[in-house]
Amino acid sequence: MSATAQSESLRQWLESDAPQSRRQAVYGNVWRGFLAFVKNPAALAGLIIIGFLIFVAAAAPLLSFGHSPYEQDLTHRLAAPNVTHWFGTDELGRDIFSRVVYGARVTLTIVFLVSVVVAPIGLAVGTLAGFLGGAVDVVLMRITDIFLAFPRLVLALAFAAALGPGIENAVIAISLTAWPPYARIARAETATIAKSDFISAVTLQGASTARILLKHIVPLCLSSVIVRLTLDMAGIILTAAGLGFLGLGAQPPTAEWGAMVSAGREVILDQWWVATVPGIAIFIVSLGFNLLGDGLRDVFDPKSSS
């Protein structure tokens, strides 16, 4: 078969109204979701931005074209953007462009780590509360509500202050205040799903609570959690940048965008690019996640008006 004929039949297989296997149904859904998603130009822009972020982080050594983000050159400090240093140099003579590029790695690390911490905690608390109900539900949800009522940045500040600077501590600090919404979402979904017949069926077959939760309930909550995570990600990045700005989070000489803005603060009036450029990077990445999150929400939950 020629290439076009192959892609044609693949497309037919994906879009078939009567899928023959579970795999076909799942892939078909993913394909349909993808099509709906890319129809939305804003969502597509978001996807491209995030894709670009991942690419930059992965290819950082290549993209910095030989400049090191750590190499100091005090004779050329605070240089304006020029041919060698596209974004100029900072107060220690380091190349800002490569520092911005490497900063993408830090941002991505934070995004990944926070997701990996927050989603399981939220899912665990929420599904347990929703499934077991009763006293467990009340207690867990009260705790969740209490955490939900706390101011995010201030509390993350306090945590990070106590735990000391460093990227892991910043992640912990942020995660401690970011998990409640996911518990809420998971609980709401679980409470609805738990009443379904198929859960009763599986219980009658002898499945343990853990098995029911992990194999049956969590997968169904995942899409809402992912959408919410993407939407929250911008806020998390901004909070992390705020912590970096205050000297918490990734420590020098690691290139972290928030810290770079802070370093450029002293010289903002004369060498404005030192603080401005990293901030633009933060803005673009947050924007990307917001657009992506909006797009995902429209695909998964079109009822919500944006």
Partner 1 sequence: MAVAVPTPPDGSKLEEGQATQFSTLSPGQRAAGTFKRFGLFLATLVITFVGLTAITFFIGRFIPVDPVLAVVGDHANHDVYEKTRLAMGLDRSIPVQYLLYLKKVLSGDLGESVMTSKPVLSDLLAFFPATFELATLATIIGVLVGVPVGVWAGASKGRWPDHLVRVIGLFGYSTPVFWMGLVALFIFYGKLGWVGGTGRLDVGYDDIVSPVTGVLLIDSAMQGQWEIFRNALSHLILPGLILAYFSLAYIARMTRSFMIEQLSQEYVTAALVKGRSFWGAVWHHAFPNIMVPLITVIGLSYASLLEGAVLTETVFAWPGLGRYITQSLFNADMNAVLGGTLVVGAVFIGINAFSDFLYKVVDPRLRNS
User: Distance between CA 51 and CA 33 in Å, rounded?
Assistant: 18
Residue 235, burial from CB neighbour count under 10 angstroms (0-12, 13-18, 19+): middle
Packed helices 152-163 and 218-245: angle between N→C axes, nearest 10 degrees: 70
The answer to the question of residue 283 lying near partner 1 (CB under 8 A) is yes
CB of 163 to partner 1, least distance (A): 8
Instruction: Determine, following the binding rule CB under 8 A, whether residue 55 of this chain makes contact with partner 1.
Output: no
> Which of 10, 30, 138, 268: binder of partner 1 (CB under 8 A)?
268
Per CB under 8 A, the list member of 6, 168, 272, 302 interacting with partner 1 is 272
Neighbours of 243 (CB within 10 A): 29
Minimum distance, C-beta of residue 32 to partner 1, in the bound complex (Å): 25
Handedness of CA 153, 256, 279, 110 (dihedral sign): negative
CA distances from 239 to 5, 111, 167, 258, 260 (A): 50, 11, 13, 9, 15
Question: What's the CA gap between 249 and 165, in Å, rounded?
Answer: 5
Where does this chain touch partner 1 (CB under 8 A) — which range of 75-83, 153-161, 201-209, 217-225? 153-161
Residue type present at position 251: Q
- Binder of partner 1 out of 235, 251, 253, 300 (CB under 8 A): 235
Does the protein bind partner 1 through residue 163 (CB under 8 A)? yes
Nearer to partner 1, 163 or 214 (CB): 163
**Residue 151 in the binding site for partner 1 (CB under 8 A):** yes
158 interacts with partner 1 by CB under 8 A: yes
Nearer residue to partner 1 within complex by CB, 218 or 259 = 259
**Using CA atoms, how far apart are residues 278 and 95, in angstroms rounded to an integer?**
12
> Which tokens go with 262?
């802070």
Q: Say whether residue 139 binds partner 1 (CB under 8 A).
A: no
Kindly report whether the peptide bond that precedes residue 253 is cis, defined as omega within 30 degrees of 0.
yes
CA–CA separation, 124 and 94 (whole Å): 44
Least spacing, CB of residue 272 vs partner 1, in Å: 5
In the set 61, 164, 252, 302, which binds partner 1 (CB under 8 A)?
A: 164
Contact between 253 and partner 1 per CB under 8 A: no
Handedness of CA 22, 24, 25, 31 (dihedral sign): positive
If you search the block for the tokens 């990070």, which residue do you land on?
160
Q: How far is the CB of 165 from partner 1 (least distance, A)?
A: 10
Q: Which residues bind partner 1 (CB under 8 A)?
A: 142-143, 145-147, 149-155, 157-159, 161-164, 234-235, 238, 241-242, 245-248, 258, 261-262, 264-265, 268-269, 272, 275-276, 279, 282-283, 286-287, 290-291, 305-306
